[in-house]
Amino acid sequence: MEPPVPTPSSFDVTNVHGWFLVCLGVAGVLLNGALLAALCSGGRRLFRPSSSSSSFASLILNLTLADLGIAVCGCPTAAAAAFYGRWIWGDLGCRLYGFQGLFFGLSSLMTVASLQVDRYLVLRGSSPFRGCGGTGVLLIGAVWINAAFWAAAPIYGWHRYGLEPLGISCTIDYQDNDWSYVSYLLGLISFCYVLPISAMLFCQVKIRRILATVKPEVRKKTDVDPPDDVDEDVGDGKPALGLLIVFLFCWTPYAVVCGWSALFGASTFPPPLTTLPPLCAKMAPILNPLVVTATSARIRRSLFGSPRGRGSYEGGAGEKEK
């Protein structure tokens, strides 16, 4: 693997790219660090085992850890290469960088899909393992196993990792559309893009229908106290809907570039556009915590310490004890 020799014009492009990655990395660490602190400070209120909101909090925690992985492991390495003007970490570094990028990226996007599935099962009242945090534990395990399989496959011979056209980061080598690439890509896009999107859209439609017909029963079905928290965190699925939009924005460019390369060859794709997918993907650690904070009342209370009103868990619990 011979990295491209930088030219004066390419230095300008890669320097801008590098500073953008620095900004993404710093913002991603700060935002997800704050969200992680909010989840930890929420403690008993967010992770109450008997409540369906526990699976929601567990999945948000998992999403935060995956996004931190993207920001901490991905951005600094690529930024350093960008400032240098070319990839400087060698073949082994390229494979490791490609692995961690796909591993944490798939973990992030599949956790978003799991949130939709969990909300749908909670509203249906059919969530298994309810006493152990809902379906959260089961879904989180599936997320990491799935991510590890697809990220490790290129290392063990099912296609390979390689430099992206700009030459400052590594991902699945989509510049050589041989049979191993086509077969790997078909499985990756089917199980890690098309299937999650289909599941999210299905669950979102079902959630809307359930709320339209049985909204007075949401509190009973979700076992979350009080109704105000149900509406904002569990009942109407606002966090899951917002994260679905982020999912489409951050990961669709990669799916388009890889799919186009498999069908028509990488040489037919406009080179400037190949820089967009990795940047869009690295925006997920910024957009995800912003969406979660904006749409979750419980997270905002833990993060900003806003006054508890009628909808506080403690108040509801106190009334029950009386």
DSSP 193-215: IIHHHHHHHHHHHHHHHHHHHHG
Tens-digit pLDDT profile for residues 59-95: 889 999 999 999 999 999 999 999 988 899 999 999 9
Confidence of residue 58 (pLDDT cuts 50, 70, 90): confident
pLDDT mean across residues, the chain: 79
Task: Quote the pLDDT of residue 52.
Answer: 54
Q: pTM for the whole thing?
A: 0.82
Q: Could you write out the DSSP letters of every residue in 141-155?
A: HHHHHHHHHHHHTTT
CATH numeric code, 8-313? 1.20.1070.10
Count the neighbouring beta carbons within 10 Å of the beta carbon of residue 139: 21
C-beta atoms surrounding 256 within 10 Å:
14
- In this predicted structure, what is the pLDDT of residue 267? 76
Residue 57: φ, ψ to 5°: -65, -40
Query: From residue 271, how far is each of 7, 21, 61 by CA, in Å?
Result: 16, 19, 37
Q: Could you give the C-alpha distances from 164 to 1, 18, 183, in angstroms and in order? A: 11, 15, 20
Contact present, 28 and 108 (Cβ < 8 Å): no
